[in-house]
């Protein structure tokens, strides 16, 4: 997929997740208002009790940017529009996993760790010609 299309659709995926989260908050507010009005309590709850415009707006922008970044990074792996939107929706998890990948961590650290590709704990327990017996 073209990188610019993957970026746009990834951003869309990120924003869709946040739109669904905001929708749930508004539905909770609506439900609380209905309950309050039916019970005769006054005043009904304000929307600001359920939606923090500044914080929620910042999260929406962040999700948009993360979705765009994930789409851009993975554009050569994405073959369809729905996949690009899904990558954007899952961007925090995908980018978090990429950040923990050993190969990426080694690349970021540079050439200082160019030795054995297996960490000591991942080496086989026995070597060719060795036996599992313990001799006393």
* 124 has a pLDDT exceeding 70: no
d(CA 7, CA 95): 14
Find out whether 123 and 110 touch, Cβ atoms under 8 Å. no
Mean pLDDT of the chain: 84
Portion of the chain with pLDDT greater than 90, in percent: 64
Average pLDDT over residues 48-52: 94
Position 18 scores a pLDDT of 95
Whole-number Å distance between alpha carbons of 97 and 95: 5
What gap in Å lies between CA 66 and CA 58, rounded to an integer? 12
pLDDT of residue 42: 80
pTM of the model: 0.70
Sequence-ordered alpha helix ranges (H) in 40-80: 53-73
| Tokens, residue 73 | 């990074």
DSSP, res 55? H
Reported as a pLDDT band with limits 50, 70 and 90, residue 135 is very low
pLDDT reported for residue 116? 54
Residues 6+ apart with CB under 8 A from 42: 36
């Amino acid at each position: 997929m073209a990188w610019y299309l993957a970026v746009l659709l990834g951003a869309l995926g990120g924003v869709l997740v946040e739109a669904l989260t905001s929708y749930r908050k508004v539905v909770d507010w609506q439900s609380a208002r209905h309950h309050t009005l039916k019970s005769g309590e006054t005043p009904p709850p304000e929307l600001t009790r359920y939606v923090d415009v500044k914080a929620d707006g910042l999260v929406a922008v962040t999700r948009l940017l993360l979705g765009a970044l994930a789409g851009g990074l993975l554009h050569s792996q994405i073959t369809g529009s729905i996949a690009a939107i899904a990558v954007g929706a899952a961007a925090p998890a995908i980018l978090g996993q990429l950040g923990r990948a050993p190969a990426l961590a080694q690349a970021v650290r540079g050439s200082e760790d160019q030795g054995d590709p297996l960490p000591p704990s991942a080496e086989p327990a026995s070597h060719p010609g060795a036996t599992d017996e313990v001799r006393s």
